[in-house]
Amino acid sequence: MTRNDGRQPQQIRSFSVTLHPNKYAEGSVLIEAGETKVLITATVEERVPPFLKGQGKGWITAEYAMLPRATHSRNQRESAKGKLTGRTMEIQRLIGRALRSVVNLNALGERTITLDCDVLQADGGTRTTSITGAFIALALAVHKLDGTVKFDRYPITDYLGSISVGVIQNQPVVDLNYEEDSKAKVDMNVVMTGSGAFVEVQGTGEEAPFTRSELDGMLQLAEEAIIQLVAMQKEALGTAGVRIGGIGV
Amino acid sequence: MTRNDGRQPQQIRSFSVTLHPNKYAEGSVLIEAGETKVLITATVEERVPPFLKGQGKGWITAEYAMLPRATHSRNQRESAKGKLTGRTMEIQRLIGRALRSVVNLNALGERTITLDCDVLQADGGTRTTSITGAFIALALAVHKLDGTVKFDRYPITDYLGSISVGVIQNQPVVDLNYEEDSKAKVDMNVVMTGSGAFVEVQGTGEEAPFTRSELDGMLQLAEEAIIQLVAMQKEALGTAGVRIGGIGV
Amino acid sequence: MTRNDGRQPQQIRSFSVTLHPNKYAEGSVLIEAGETKVLITATVEERVPPFLKGQGKGWITAEYAMLPRATHSRNQRESAKGKLTGRTMEIQRLIGRALRSVVNLNALGERTITLDCDVLQADGGTRTTSITGAFIALALAVHKLDGTVKFDRYPITDYLGSISVGVIQNQPVVDLNYEEDSKAKVDMNVVMTGSGAFVEVQGTGEEAPFTRSELDGMLQLAEEAIIQLVAMQKEALGTAGVRIGGIGV
Amino acid sequence: MTRNDGRQPQQIRSFSVTLHPNKYAEGSVLIEAGETKVLITATVEERVPPFLKGQGKGWITAEYAMLPRATHSRNQRESAKGKLTGRTMEIQRLIGRALRSVVNLNALGERTITLDCDVLQADGGTRTTSITGAFIALALAVHKLDGTVKFDRYPITDYLGSISVGVIQNQPVVDLNYEEDSKAKVDMNVVMTGSGAFVEVQGTGEEAPFTRSELDGMLQLAEEAIIQLVAMQKEALGTAGVRIGGIGV
Amino acid sequence: MTRNDGRQPQQIRSFSVTLHPNKYAEGSVLIEAGETKVLITATVEERVPPFLKGQGKGWITAEYAMLPRATHSRNQRESAKGKLTGRTMEIQRLIGRALRSVVNLNALGERTITLDCDVLQADGGTRTTSITGAFIALALAVHKLDGTVKFDRYPITDYLGSISVGVIQNQPVVDLNYEEDSKAKVDMNVVMTGSGAFVEVQGTGEEAPFTRSELDGMLQLAEEAIIQLVAMQKEALGTAGVRIGGIGV
Amino acid sequence: MTRNDGRQPQQIRSFSVTLHPNKYAEGSVLIEAGETKVLITATVEERVPPFLKGQGKGWITAEYAMLPRATHSRNQRESAKGKLTGRTMEIQRLIGRALRSVVNLNALGERTITLDCDVLQADGGTRTTSITGAFIALALAVHKLDGTVKFDRYPITDYLGSISVGVIQNQPVVDLNYEEDSKAKVDMNVVMTGSGAFVEVQGTGEEAPFTRSELDGMLQLAEEAIIQLVAMQKEALGTAGVRIGGIGV
Contact residues for B234 (Cβ-Cβ < 8 A; gap 6+): B159, B243
* Beta-bridge mates of residue D186: D167
The enclosing H or E element of A93 equals helix A86-100
Determine contact: D189 vs chain C, CB below 8 A: no
Inter-chain contact E24–D121, Cβ cutoff 8 Å?
Answer: yes
A229 or D245: which carries more pLDDT confidence?
Answer: A229
> Chains with 3 or more CB pairs closer than 8 angstroms to A?
B, F
| Structure letter (DSSP) for residue B127 | H
Split at pLDDT 50, 70, 90, the class of D82 is: confident
Q: What is the rounded distance in angstroms from the CA atom of residue C101 to the CA atom of residue C191?
A: 10
Residues of C in contact with D197 (CB under 8 A): 205, 209-211
- Residue F246, pLDDT > 70, answer no
**Set of chain E residues whose Cβ sits within 8 Å of the Cβ of F92:** 86
**CB of A25 less than 8 A from some CB of F:** yes
**Are D212 and C203 an interchain contact pair (Cβ–Cβ within 8 Å)?**
no
**Distance to chain B for A73, nearest Cα, Å:** 15
Q: Is C202 left (phi over 0), alpha (psi -120 to 50) or beta?
A: beta
Q: Which element (helix H / strand E) includes C59? A: strand C59-66
Q: What is the predicted pLDDT for the residue at F248? A: 37
Question: pLDDT tens digits, chain C, 249 residues: what are they?
Answer: 789 999 999 999 999 999 999 999 999 999 999 999 999 999 999 999 999 999 999 999 999 999 999 999 999 999 888 889 999 999 999 999 999 999 999 999 999 999 999 999 999 999 999 999 999 999 999 999 999 999 999 999 999 999 999 999 999 999 999 999 999 999 999 999 999 999 999 999 878 899 999 999 999 999 999 999 999 999 999 999 998 875 333
Which residue positions in chain E have pLDDT lower than 70? 245-249
Average pLDDT, chain D: 95
What is the pLDDT, as a whole number, of residue B249? 39
Q: Does D49 touch chain E (CB under 8 A)?
A: no
Residue E87 assigned to a binding site:
yes
Pairing of strands A59-66, A112-121: parallel
Inter-chain touch E77–D63, beta carbons under 8 Å: yes
Pairing between strand B198-204 and A198-204?
Answer: antiparallel
Which segments of chain B does DSSP mark as H helices, in order? 78-81, 86-100, 105-108, 126-149, 178-183, 212-239
Least confident of A14-28, A92-106, B204-218, E14-28: B204-218
The verdict on a CB contact (< 8 Å) between C198 and D209 is yes
Residue A243 pLDDT class (50, 70, 90 cuts): confident
Question: A79-83, E142-146, F68-72: which range is least confident on average?
Answer: A79-83
Are E26 and E60 in contact, with CB atoms under 8 Å apart? no
| Mean pLDDT, residues A17-35 taken together | 98
Q: Which chains touch E (3 or more CB pairs under 8 A)?
A: D, F
Question: A39 to chain B, minimum CA–CA distance in Å?
Answer: 23
A147 at interface of B, judged by CB pairs closer than 8 A? no
As a whole number, mean pLDDT of residues B28-40 equals 98
State the pLDDT at residue B247: 38
| Chain E, chain F: beta-carbon pairs less than 8 Å apart | 96
CB-CB contact of C22 with C41 (8 Å): yes
In total, the C-beta contacts within 8 angstroms joining chain C to chain D are 96
CB of A45 within 8 Å of a chain F CB? The answer is: yes
DSSP line for B155-188: SB-S-EEEEEEEEETTEEEES--HHHHHH-SEEE
Tell me which residues of chain D, numbers 149 to 188, contact chain C at a CB-CB cutoff of 8 Å: 188
For residue D194, the chain C residue with the least C-alpha distance is C209
pLDDT greater than 60 at residue A25: yes
Q: Is the pLDDT of residue A247 over 80?
A: no
pLDDT confidence band for F247 (50 / 70 / 90): very low
**pLDDT tens-place string over residues B115-164:** 999 999 999 999 999 999 999 999 999 999 999 999 999 999 999 999 99
Name which of A41, A69, A83 is nearest F82 (Cβ-Cβ).
Answer: A83
pLDDT in tens, D114-149: 999 999 999 999 999 999 999 999 999 999 999 999
* Residue F104 confidence class, pLDDT cut points 50, 70, 90: very high
pTM, 2 dp:
0.92
Taking each continuous run of H as one helix and of E as one strand, the counts in chain A are 6, 9
Position D96, amino acid: G
- Distance from the Cα of D39 to chain E's closest Cα (Å) equals 9
Nearest to A210 among B89, B198, B212 (CB): B198
Q: Compare all CA atoms of chain B with the CA of C74 and give the residue at the minimum distance.
A: B43
* CA–CA dist B108, B154 (Å, integer): 8
The response to whether A127 counts as a known ligand-binding position is yes
Q: Collect all residues of chain E within an 8 Å Cβ-Cβ radius of residue D45.
A: 74
Nearest CA in chain C to D97: C206
Q: Which of B206, B220, B221, B249 to mutate to test the interface with A (most CBs of A within 10 A)?
A: B206
Picking from C63, C69, C116, the nearest residue to B116 by CB comes out as C69
Chain C, residues 50-109, CB within 8 A of chain B, namely 63, 65, 67-74, 77-84, 88
More confident residue, A76 or B249: A76
Residue E248 has what pLDDT? 37
Chain D neighbours, 3+ Cβ pairs < 8 A: C, E
Distances (CA, A) of B209 to A191, B170, C216, D186: 10, 12, 72, 64
The minimum CA-CA distance between B132 and chain C, rounded to whole Å, is 19
Residues F176, B158: Cα–Cα separation, whole Å? 67
Taking an 8 Å cut-off on Cβ atoms, the answer to whether F203 and E201 are in contact is yes
Tell me the pLDDT of chain A averaged across its residues: 95
Nearest to D66 by CA among E41, A15, C195, B141: E41
**What integer is the mean pLDDT of F125-146?**
98
* Phi, psi of F200, deg, nearest 5: -145, 135
Chains that touch F (3 or more CB pairs under 8 A): A, E
Residue of A nearest to B223 (CA): A212
Rounded to the nearest angstrom, the minimum Cα separation between D23 and chain C is 31
DSSP state, C84?
-
Per the CB < 8 Å rule, is B86 touching A101? Answer: no
Q: Report CB contact under 8 Å: E86, F92.
A: yes
- Tens digits of residue pLDDT in D16-54: 999 999 999 999 999 999 999 999 999 999 999 999 999
Per the CB < 8 Å rule, is B22 touching C120?
Answer: yes
**Strand F112-121 versus strand F59-66 pairing type:** parallel
This complex has an ipTM of: 0.94
Q: How far apart are CA B66 and CA B126, in angstroms?
A: 9
- Strands, E, within chain F: which ranges? 15-19, 27-33, 36-45, 59-66, 112-121, 160-168, 171-174, 186-193, 198-204
F41 in contact with chain A, both atoms CB, cutoff 8 A: yes
First CA to last CA distance, chain A: 36
F197 to E211: CB separation less than 8 angstroms, yes or no: yes
Across the interface, whether the CB atoms of E101 and F195 are under 8 A apart is answered: no
- CB-CB: which of F25, F45, F67 is closest to A118? F67
**Residue E16 to residue D243: CA distance in whole angstroms:** 36
- End-to-end Cα spacing for chain F: 36
Contact C206 D89 (CB under 8 A): no
**Residue A9: burial class (beta carbons within 10 Å; 0-12, 13-18, 19+):** middle
C-alpha distances in angstroms, D33 versus B147, D19, D36, D168?
Answer: 64, 15, 5, 20
